Chain A
Amino acid sequence: MAHVTALHLKYKYPGSDTLALHDISFSVERGECIGIIGENGSGKSSLCQALAGLIPGFYKGAYGGKVLLDGQEAAHMDADTLCRKVGLVFQNPFNQVTGAKLTAYEEVAFGLENIGVPREEMHARVREAMELLHIYEYREHYPFDLSGGQMQRMAIAGVFAMRPEIIVLDEPVSQLDPQGRKEVFEAIRTLSGHGITIFLAEHNMEQIAAFCDRVALLHEGRLICMDTPARLFSRDDLETYGVEAPVFTKLARVLQVRGQDGLFPVTLEETKRLFMEKRQTGAGVLEWLE
């Protein structure tokens, strides 16, 4: 059975006359990492919230279709079950941090306290999550004294510590520096390796391409396609949807360097490999740079 399924999912915010999500259907296997891309306003955040049950649990409005988590309907789950099943990392950590705790450590422990995890296990999990995100050294800091990047990693640690089966991240690294981004992506990759299903909304296409098994492209609330990064970024109509291919793909397209499957490379490593091959076979690409 698919781990996460959306069936004709529709949603409209209260007071809005357009659908934020328009008849979205897909299914995702356990442990898959799914990228969510699209221009601002395309429905990425709404989809994240629907997957995490905040739509329709918290945000009212018109809701149709369903989201199934392990075959169970998210909209019918109680908050306790739902929050053990799926964790959501917000775009802006200021919206996630409770503000009720005086140290980063307590902040990370907040969710676990609420679901009544035994004390010893709670400490172990908080420490593990904080170490994974490289913020254990800031455990005694006041949450709002942390830098943007540290605060975001603290928010992610709070979600990781809950050990949900599914983690939804809504542009989680937009506030981070390159090193912080790398750390967060490495941490997500670790979790992904443990069979956690990941949904990741992100504008950085190089990251999406390097990281995701499949990518969902949204436009005006509709799912345009959900496919492997190579197939999606080899489409020639991306501009129509307000997204760009990774810089490597753009370069390969101009030079018409394709893999055996006829698709353009999407990551640095693949692009390098294909360019090197072309050079060896004397196909005449890029000698001008020697």
Chain B
Amino acid sequence: MSIFKKLFTAARGGATEVGEAIIDSQAIRILEQELRDSKKALNDAKTGLTSIMAEKMGVDRKVKELTAKITEHEAYAIQAMDKGDESLALDVANKIAEFEHELAIQQGILDGYQTKVSSLKKMIRQSERNIQAMDREVSVVKTTAKVQQANDLASAKFSGSNSSMRSATDSLERIKARQQKREDQASAAVDLESETSGDDLQARLKNAGIVDSESSGSSILDRLKKQKAQS
């Protein structure tokens, strides 16, 4: 089963047991056990890799030795031929053939090790990634379990007297109403501010004699008379 699927199972765990622990703690424990097992398997794989690499080094050394011996004996064979000792040269050449045969075998083993090492390394990297991902996911599942407990506590505090307190749409309405009230208050405050500053301006204009300080019936009549005389 994939990690995601297991986590999914863990997370939905007891969802059917109404009011009971929703996150299945048993499933989390199993996951954690699997995680520990994977970590152990990873360690074993790393140990395995170390011993295979040691063996590979041994074979590697043999291959180098054989290659060196072949070069060495090739020189001997040439020297024997130079001296006209054809049968000695043939013996050396036979020896070289033995070495080459052995080299081919050892090279084959070396190649086999090489493949094994690189596939083991790949596997180890892969399981390290898996373990990291699993670690993260398990911690998220555990975290959400804690958050859930916290929320259960909170809603238990809320509910008690009034169960409609818990309705999401009601809550939203209440928040919107509060926001509206706040905005109304703010705009009322702005209106009030401008009114008062308006009053203030009028008073200052009157004081400065720019606006009639007393707008009375007689002053208006005077003004109208002046207008009529001008026309």
Please indicate whether A and B come from the same complex rather than being unrelated chains.
no
B interface residues (Cβ-Cβ under 8 A, vs A): none
A interface residues (Cβ-Cβ under 8 A, vs B): none
